[in-house]
């Protein structure tokens, strides 16, 4: 538009301001230049602008012609009316196409995007604006103002609530409660500060609600129920908190934990009244809680009403199972059947497992399937399915004996119902459970018949059934059948650890310990948490005398089963075999801390302390063992010997009398009773005891010898009779021994004659003569010398059987007493000095 006003300018004047294009100049240079005058971001650094803003009369100085070579310059132009008026460009706006500071301004008002390939005249490339210097620093916040103090305090309260929740999530309940209390104090201080600053109307109700709710929850988690109820009551009674009525559910839960069931139902119903029908899931959960409380109160009909309503509105597994329990409690057969049918028809809402199996060669699809195969959602689905199967199996086992006249018929009905439902795979498990129930009822034949029907089923079920059959035959000591079914179970499922253990057991009883160890190791490779395999492997290593490896097995097992008395006893026995009695004592102390009434462990502790020379401690444990199990012959023998050693023969008598009751055919114990009477000076009682023994065992040489001595010492007339009987018995004993000896020599001589032929006659004659000499010498040896006491018979090993109270798997060594009492203990110098005739 400005070019149209130049028609009156002389041509010479016009030509003065015309620039000729030079080859080096860019005709379109300047289009991308930007005049900093219009940069609003730099107004703060514009001194003239800031001066004009600060003062009321400040003005920008008048613009002069700084644009040489323009068509207009700085003079006023004539208009079509002949007057001269100043143009807008004279007020400071650069003219289009003008040159400012040596830089040509573009011919358009729109700035081009991008950049030019050549630098404009008089400018430098500075895309980041670094030439303008650093930005001024931010103004610091003034924390002294009331608003800032309130904001800081609110942040502290929120942080404390968050810390309290995090502490609860990791189980630090006491710390969570302390943080909740601290948050409550800070929140009260915040309210006071708002009131002091005049902002009481702007109280943060959400923050107050959060503080009170968290505090109540932490009180409840720490089982401080009265404080929790008070905190909930504060929230519920405050009308400013919306939807606070739902917290009555929490209050009802606390009353339930306190077993105040009527009040729990009252608050559950109050919460139910304050929750609208739009929150259907919440209402269903509250009704389920009401039903559970009625069950605890024994009001099954009211509980059935709640559960039936839930099953009609929104059926779920737990409610269906609870409904079956209620029908079972009232004994309603038909409704039990209907409830079971409802239970197995509840939809789970989970995908089929086939979804997680790759079906094609699509790499991306397979990667997605692999990613979601073990994610938390799939794990949750698996847990739900396992829980559902558990409820169905438990319900079937519960109602099977009740819904029909016989257990088998009821179980068959349950199996048929399950086969026609979505849980078809559970039918086989129910059949196996049926066989196990037969076992519990001691009906082994029916159990075996039931399990044998699975031999033609699929591999998983066949393996489970064969494993149970192998176990049954193993218990019946039919090791061949047990081995057969163990092989069948392994062939059906080689990764079944129970089948491998059964196979190892059958090999173990055949004393092939190396092979048994291999089966146990394979079971552990398939299932590292299989404690039975680890225990049996330790026993196998102990049989192989690889004590260190056995010790390693049982130490690992102890880390899994911390309170297993069997494992700790095995460790004690291994340390005893490794000749470390102190370690053995420590492990046995742990055994009696778990089972303080185990007589075998107490007796073993007594034996170890006796071996260490601590008689008093050994006596304490032996006595405790005798108190819990007064039939252990080794313990009785040790206690009797202990009292004799400590010169309390009267107390020893009661233990030997008990041994006589346990083993009435063993003359040894009755002789000990008589010896205790003799040692204590009660000769008359001793004589009566010996006479009683002679009536029961008339051929006992030791008894007759003591009768001869006692009668001689007491001057009784029966001494000659007993002496005659003694000689007769000794002669019969000698003849019997010679017959046995000659029979052995005759058989040996016959074998030699068969080998040597006629050369045996000379040996035979020599043998007959030597036999006479041996008979004579034996007779001489049988008579006691004038100054030596009669000797008791040689000690005999006692065959005492004992059933281990800790279970059949305990491979415990027989507890042998260190001090064995024999008749020799009573036929020593004391008897010879006092009673032997000159």
> For 569-590, what is the mean pLDDT?
93
CA 202/CA 186 separation, integer angstroms: 17
Interval 449-497: pLDDT, tens: 777 777 666 667 778 888 888 888 898 888 998 998 898 888 888 888 9
CA 74/CA 91 separation, integer angstroms: 10
The pLDDT of residue 710 is above 90: no
The pLDDT of residue 139 is above 50: yes
> For 338-359, what is the mean pLDDT?
80
Interval 387-417: pLDDT, tens: 988 999 899 888 988 888 887 888 888 888 8
pLDDT at 797: 32
> For 246-270, what is the mean pLDDT?
92
CA distances (Å), 26 to each of 18, 21, 81, 116, 291, in order?
Answer: 16, 9, 38, 11, 92
CA 474/CA 489 separation, integer angstroms: 14
> For 629-657, what is the mean pLDDT?
88
CA 624/CA 642 separation, integer angstroms: 15
> For 729-748, what is the mean pLDDT?
79
The pLDDT of residue 196 is above 50: yes
CA 195/CA 330 separation, integer angstroms: 62
pLDDT at 353: 66
pLDDT band at 574 (very low <50, low <70, confident <90, very high): very high
Can you tell me which residue has the tokens 């990764």? 495
| Entry pTM | 0.53
* 286-295, 522-531, 606-615, 732-741: segment of lowest average pLDDT: 732-741
pLDDT at 230: 92
DSSP code, position 131: G
pLDDT at 42: 67
Largest CA distance in the chain: 185
pLDDT at 34: 57
pLDDT band at 62 (very low <50, low <70, confident <90, very high): low
* 69-83, 142-156, 642-656, 696-710: segment of lowest average pLDDT: 69-83
> For 332-339, what is the mean pLDDT?
90
Terminal-to-terminal C-alpha distance of the chain? 167
pLDDT band at 693 (very low <50, low <70, confident <90, very high): confident
> For 10-23, what is the mean pLDDT?
43
Query: Does residue 837 contact residue 626 with C-beta atoms inside 8 Å?
Result: no
pLDDT at 137: 74
Torsions phi, psi of 380, nearest 5?
-65, -40
CA 478/CA 498 separation, integer angstroms: 18
Q: Which pairs count as long-range contacts for 351-358, CB under 8 Å and 24+ apart, including other chains?
A: 351/381
pLDDT band at 218 (very low <50, low <70, confident <90, very high): very high
Q: Residue 621 contacts by C-beta under 8 Å, 6 or more apart in sequence?
A: 602, 603, 605, 606, 609
Structure tokens at 446: 């029916």
Q: Residue 537 contacts by C-beta under 8 Å, 6 or more apart in sequence?
A: 517, 520, 521, 524, 553
pLDDT band at 501 (very low <50, low <70, confident <90, very high): very high
């Amino acid at each position: 538009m400005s070019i149209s006003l130049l028609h009156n300018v002389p041509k010479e004047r016009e030509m003065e301001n015309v620039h000729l294009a030079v080859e080096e100049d860019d005709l379109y240079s300047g289009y991308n230049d930007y005049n900093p005058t219009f940069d609003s971001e730099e107004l703060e650094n514009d001194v003239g602008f800031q001066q004009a803003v600060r003062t009321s009369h400040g003005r920008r100085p008048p613009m002069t012609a700084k644009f040489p070579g323009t068509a207009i310059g700085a003079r006023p132009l004539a208009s079509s009316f002949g007057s001269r008026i100043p143009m807008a460009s004279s007020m400071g706006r650069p003219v289009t196409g003008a040159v400012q500071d040596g830089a040509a301004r573009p011919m358009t008002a729109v700035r081009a995007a991008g950049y030019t390939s050549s630098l404009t005249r008089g400018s430098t490339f500075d895309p980041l604006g670094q030439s303008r210097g650093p930005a001024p620093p931010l103004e610091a916040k003034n924390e002294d103002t009331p608003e800032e103090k309130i904001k800081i305090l609110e942040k502290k309260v929120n942080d404390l609530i968050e810390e309290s929740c995090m502490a609860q999530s990791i189980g630090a309940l006491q710390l969570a409660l302390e943080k909740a209390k601290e948050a409550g104090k800070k929140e009260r201080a915040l309210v006071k500060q708002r009131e002091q600053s005049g902002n009481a109307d702007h109280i943060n109700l959400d923050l107050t609600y959060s503080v009170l709710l968290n505090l109540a929850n932490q009180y409840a988690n720490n089982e401080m129920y009265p404080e929790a109820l008070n905190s909930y009551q504060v929230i519920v009674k405050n009308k400013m908190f919306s939807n606070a009525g739902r917290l009555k559910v929490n209050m009802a839960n606390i009353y339930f934990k306190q077993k105040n069931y009527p009040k729990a139902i009252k608050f559950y119903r109050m919460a139910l009244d304050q929750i609208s029908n739009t929150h259907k899931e919440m209402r269903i959960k509250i009704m389920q809680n009401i039903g559970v409380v009625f069950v605890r109160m024994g009001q099954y009909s009211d509980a059935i009403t709640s559960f039936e309503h839930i099953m009609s509105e929104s059926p779920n597994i737990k409610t269906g199972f609870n409904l079956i329990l209620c029908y079972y409690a009232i004994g309603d057969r038909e409704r039990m059947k209907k409830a079971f049918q409802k239970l197995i028809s509840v939809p789970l809402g989970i995908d089929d497992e086939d979804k997680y199996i790759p079906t094609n060669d699509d790499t991306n699809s397979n990667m997605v399937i692999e990613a979601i195969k073990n994610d938390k959602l799939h794990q949750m689905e698996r847990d739900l399915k396992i829980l559902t199967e558990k409820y169905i199996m438990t319900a079937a086992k519960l109602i099977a004996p009740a819904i029909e006249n016989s257990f088998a018929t009821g179980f068959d009905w349950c199996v048929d119902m399950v086969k026609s439902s979505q849980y078809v795979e559970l039918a086989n498990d129910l059949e196996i459970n049926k066989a196990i129930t037969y076992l519990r009822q001691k009906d082994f034949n029916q159990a075996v018949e039931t399990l044998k029907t699975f031999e033609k089923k699929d591999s998983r079920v066949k393996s489970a059934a064969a494993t149970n059959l192998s176990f049954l035959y193993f218990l019946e000591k039919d090791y061949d059948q047990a081995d057969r079914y163990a092989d069948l179970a392994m062939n059906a499922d080689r990764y079944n650890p129970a089948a491998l253990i059964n196979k190892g057991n059958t090999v173990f009883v055949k004393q092939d310990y190396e092979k048994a160890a291999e089966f146990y190791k394979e079971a552990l490779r398939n299932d590292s948490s299989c404690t039975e395999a680890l225990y049996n492997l330790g026993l196998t290593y102990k049989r192989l005398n690889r004590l260190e490896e056995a010790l390693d097995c049982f130490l690992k097992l102890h880390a899994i089963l911390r309170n297993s008395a069997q494992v700790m006893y095995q460790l004690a026995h291994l340390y005893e075999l490794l000749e470390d009695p102190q370690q053995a004592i420590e492990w046995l102390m742990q055994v009696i801390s778990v089972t303080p009434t185990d007589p075998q462990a107490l007796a073993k502790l007594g034996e170890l302390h006796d071996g260490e020379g601590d008689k008093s401690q050994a006596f304490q444990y032996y006595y405790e063992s005798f108190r819990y199990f007064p039939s252990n012959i080794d313990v009785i023998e040790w206690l009797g010997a202990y009292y004799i050693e400590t010169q309390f023969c009267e107390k020893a008598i009661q233990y030997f009398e008990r041994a006589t009751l346990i083993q009435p055919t063993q003359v040894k114990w009755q002789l000990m009773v008589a010896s205790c009477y003799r040692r204590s000076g009660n000769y008359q009682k001793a004589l009566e005891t010996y006479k009683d023994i002679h009536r029961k065992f008339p051929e006992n040489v030791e008894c007759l010898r003591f009768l001869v001595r006692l009668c001689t010492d007491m001057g009784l007339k029966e001494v000659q009779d007993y002496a005659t009987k003694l000689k007769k018995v000794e002669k019969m004993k000698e003849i019997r021994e010679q017959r046995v000896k000659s029979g052995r020599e005759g058989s040996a001589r016959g074998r030699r004659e068969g080998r040597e032929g006629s050369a045996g006659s000379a040996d035979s004659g020599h043998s007959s003569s030597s036999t006479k000499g041996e008979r004579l010498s034996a007779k001489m040896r049988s008579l006691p010398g004038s100054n030596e006491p009669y000797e008791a018979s040689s000690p005999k090993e006692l065959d005492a059987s004992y059933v281990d109270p800790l279970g059949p798997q305990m491979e415990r060594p027989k507890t042998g007493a260190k001090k064995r009492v024999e008749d020799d203990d009573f036929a020593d110098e004391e008897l010879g000095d006092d009673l032997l005739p000159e």
